[in-house]
Amino acid sequence: MNKSTKIIIGIIVAVIVGIWYGLSKKTTTPTTKETIKIGAMLPLSGKNALNGQYIQQAIILAQEEINQNGGINGKKLEIIFEDDQCDPKVGATIAQKLINVDKVPLVLGPWCSSVALAVAPTFENSKTIMIAEVITPKLTTAGDYIFRVQPTGAFYMKTLAEEVVKSLEIKKAGVMYIGNDYGVSVKDAFVREFENNGGTIVDVEQYMDKQTDFRTELMKILQKNPQAILLASYAQDAGLILKQAKELGINVQFLGVPALENKDLIKIAGEAAEGLIYPYHFNFENPNENVQKFVSSYTSKFGHPPDGFAVLMYDGTYIAAKILEKCNSDTECMKNELYNNTFKRVTEIRFDSNGDPLLPINLKTIKNGQFVPYEK
């Protein structure tokens, strides 16, 4: 074997050894996790499924944008979606799974007040961050790790009551509410604010979940001669109530809550939904570049425009990404970041000392089958 041949063989051997060494190092060196997981609890089935689906789509849009832009410190954001069905018992089981099995540091949702109140103690005790989208005032005192991106019912009802009494000169009103935490909290807030503004509540009627005939409650309120009736309910219930009120010939001003901005209401009630007035936290006609970019991106991806609940949790997902980027999975750090910063995306959210956001509230109505800003 001549000298040049020996050199060539030596080079080949060196290359092979180098490749083997590199592969062995690659397989034995611990790999960094490629994803960072968080949870999301939403009503993805049942009568509130449409709201849950819109919110889920907004979360997915934000997730894709975040991952396309490098993720969170190089890790992809992975979201574990769970269907809580707007059922506190189902929600309680999901909360345990997300904490003990999936071991997530943060959960987006719930959307339903009763579920949020049921799971908040579990998340608080485990020091898991919860960023909910509910209006029940009871969540305000649920703990230091409990936050929300939606204002409380009292915040909405204050604006509604003031405008109804002062601008519409409605002095007498009745209330129909669903008998759960959500309905009770909104009812209580409206009654308090309406009376504080000089109005009189002539009657309050409760109805139960899964009820479909509301004629008895409507007629009881009608006997007290109200000028307006507040519906503290979900969209499908309100659609049936408005439809049955029209069939009974009831001609009063109907008032609503944010959850009624849902196409299911118009689908069920038809023309009976016209003129409904309700408070809301978002204006899609806002020419702001970030607002219009979100609306365009969402509509392009999902084939329909977003609703106001979708935009809040779209921002909520970006808030989650921001604090995860700073704190990794340190929930104490994440909690402090939430309390001490203002988060700007489509909306501008700053949490107060109770984890509640402050957002401007405006009135909207239904005109020609569309949800539009209310004009006095």
Q: What are the pLDDT digits (tens) for 130-177?
A: 999 999 989 999 999 999 999 999 999 999 999 999 999 999 999 999
Asked whether residue 334 carries a pLDDT value surpassing 70, the answer given is: yes
Name the H helices within 29-152. Answer: 49-68, 88-100, 113-125
- Lowest-confidence segment of 3-7, 144-148, 151-155, 235-239 by average pLDDT: 3-7
Asked whether residue 360 carries a pLDDT value surpassing 80, the answer given is: yes
> Closest by alpha carbon to 131, among 41, 251, 2, 47?
41
For residue range 311-332, what is the model confidence (pLDDT) as tens digits? 999 999 999 999 999 999 999 9
Q: Return mean pLDDT, the chain.
A: 91
> Closest by alpha carbon to 144, among 351, 372, 376, 299?
351
Query: What is the three-class DSSP state of 209?
Result: coil
Query: What is the pLDDT, as a whole number, of residue 33?
Result: 57
Residue 229 DSSP symbol: E
CA distance 124 to 116: 12
Q: How many angstroms separate the Cα of 110 from the Cα of each of 51, 150, 151, 186, 283? A: 11, 11, 14, 17, 23
- Lowest-confidence segment of 30-39, 45-54, 82-91, 217-226 by average pLDDT: 30-39
CA distance 254 to 126: 43
Query: What is the pLDDT, as a whole number, of residue 216?
Result: 97
More confident residue, 23 or 323: 323
**CA pseudo-torsion sign 119, 121, 125, 129:** positive
Number of Cβ atoms within 10 Å of the Cβ of 223: 11
Query: What is the pLDDT, as a whole number, of residue 283?
Result: 86
Write down all domains in the chain, each with its CATH number in brackets.
35-151+287-361 (3.40.50.2300), 154-280 (3.40.50.2300)
Q: 351-357 long-range CB contacts below 8 Å, 24 or more apart? A: 351/147, 354/140, 354/141, 355/140, 355/142, 355/144, 355/146, 355/147, 355/148, 356/140, 356/147, 356/148, 356/151, 356/152, 357/148, 357/149, 357/150, 357/151
Tracing tokens 């849950």 back to the chain, one arrives at 52
For residue range 64-123, what is the model confidence (pLDDT) as tens digits? 999 999 999 999 999 999 999 999 999 999 999 999 999 999 999 999 999 999 999 999
Query: What is the three-class DSSP state of 146?
Result: strand
Radius of gyration of the chain (CA): 26
Query: What is the pLDDT, as a whole number, of residue 208?
Result: 94
Query: What is the pLDDT, as a whole number, of residue 62?
Result: 98
The pLDDT-based confidence of 358 (bands split at 50, 70, 90) is confident
CA distance 331 to 324: 9
pTM of the model: 0.82
299-317: average pLDDT: 96
Residue 55 DSSP symbol: H
> Closest by alpha carbon to 342, among 322, 326, 372, 363?
322
Query: What is the pLDDT, as a whole number, of residue 376?
Result: 76
Asked if 88 and 118 touch (Cβ cutoff 8 Å), the reply is: yes
Pairing, β 362-367 against β 277-280:
antiparallel
The pLDDT-based confidence of 207 (bands split at 50, 70, 90) is very high
What share of the chain in percent tops pLDDT 90?
A: 86
Asked whether residue 21 carries a pLDDT value surpassing 80, the answer given is: no
Query: What is the pLDDT, as a whole number, of residue 315?
Result: 98
